[in-house]
Structure 1
Amino acid sequence: MNTAYRWEASGARGRVLCLLDGPDEQGTSWVAVCGDIDHRNVATLAQALTATVNAGSRTTLLDLCNVGFVDSTVLHALLEAQRSLRAARARLLLASPLSREVERLLDITGARTYFTFTDDAPAHKHCRP
């Protein structure tokens, strides 16, 4: 069953928009995130990722190429989503390329090794908060 959902919220630095499509017939859900994510709106990202677990997705493909500002709460949300997906015997894939800000967050914290990346993602859908 393929369904689409949308979450939008304001943060200290701007707006964030999360779009969820899926799961498709292979059990893959696609989440696109656009805008700035901080402690005030990171719950929007967490809700979108939790929805993929609740929908029974086997794979969640997360597109962060259109993300601007990020803070450490984003890393926490990503690690928590990965834990939840693994507990459900599913996986989280980060679509390449990531935004420069997300790349920087993963590099500075040394968290890059905790995630799996894919270049085989469908063409990036464009969203604007």
Structure 2
Amino acid sequence: MARADSLAKLAFAYGVHMTRRRLTRPRSQVAKLLETYAADGIRPLLPEERERHPQLIGCINCGLCALAAARIGNVRLPDLATSYMRIYARLGDAGSDLSGVSPELEAASAACPVGVPLGEVAAIVRRLAAG
């Protein structure tokens, strides 16, 4: 009898839960998500950056861009491209080095076998690193 009673209470509670879930509007969790990741320096992309995202993350770390345009400060260009969305620990370092003499990013992009637009990547890294 106790088991049947427990199952009936569980079924009732589940019914109440499902009814509440259908009747209440879902609350946005965006503010909580941004607050959680802000300490790690992870910021959201702008809508136009989100649209270009598939083209910006194609770096295969071959190093051909580094041969064409050397470095930005102390950061190798393949590190810049991978810091964009893969290795967040490098983002701050890459962003702080972008203030130096700018290499020929268009030449580096032309040398890239997968066509990563390094000028756009550098602009996004600057924005994300600046906060």
Shorter-normalised TM range = under 0.3
Q: Name the one with the larger helix percent.
A: 2
Between structure 1 and structure 2, the one with the greater Rg is 2
Name the TM-score, length of structure 2 as normaliser.
Answer: 0.25
